[in-house]
Every structure is written in C-alpha cells, then in structure tokens.
Amino acid sequence: MAIIRGTQRRSFDIFPTLKEARESAEQEAICNALQFCRGNKQKAADLLGIRRLSLKYNILSLLLTCSPLQ
C-alpha cells in the first residue's frame, strides 16, 4: 500500500475500510429504526440506545436519506 498525503491507497477494493463498514452499519441501523418508529426521532433514538441529539448529529454527519416505510 502506498501512502498518499496521510491516507493509505489500497491496491484492491475487495473489502471496505473499517470506517466505510462502520458508517454503512450505522446508516442501516438508523434508517431501520426511523422506519420502524415511523420517523419519530425520539423513539428511534430510544430504540438505538442513544440520545435524540446524537441521532440528529448522526443523521446530519452521515448525510442520511432514508426511504419511507413501504
């Protein structure tokens, strides 16, 4: 692996980085909780075991867009 400006450049992309895997898992869990709670952020945060403000921060920082419950 070559290091380019403080980041590592992988020669293959078979596996996501740990950061990518964590963000993907967080996005899926948050979207599932929001859909289950029909958009109620307080209930979704309770379900996830986090504070509502933490959920709001995660939604903003992950640029999260969830499809509505079908």
pLDDT above 70: percentage of residues in the chain: 76
What digits encode the pLDDT tens for the residues 61-70? 888 777 665 4
pLDDT above 90: percentage of residues in the chain: 57
What is the reported pLDDT for 38?
94
What are the residue boundaries of the structural domains of the chain, listed by start?
Answer: 17-61
Q: How many CB atoms lie within 10 A of CB 16?
A: 11
What digits encode the pLDDT tens for the residues 29-41? 999 999 999 999 9
CA–CA gap between residue 33 and residue 55 (Å, rounded): 10
CA-atom Rg of the chain in angstroms: 16
Which DSSP state fits 15?
Answer: S
- What's this model's pTM, rounded to 2 decimal places? 0.72
Does the 17-61 domain belong in CATH 1.10.10? yes
CA distances 39 to 51, 53, 63, Å, are 15, 15, 16
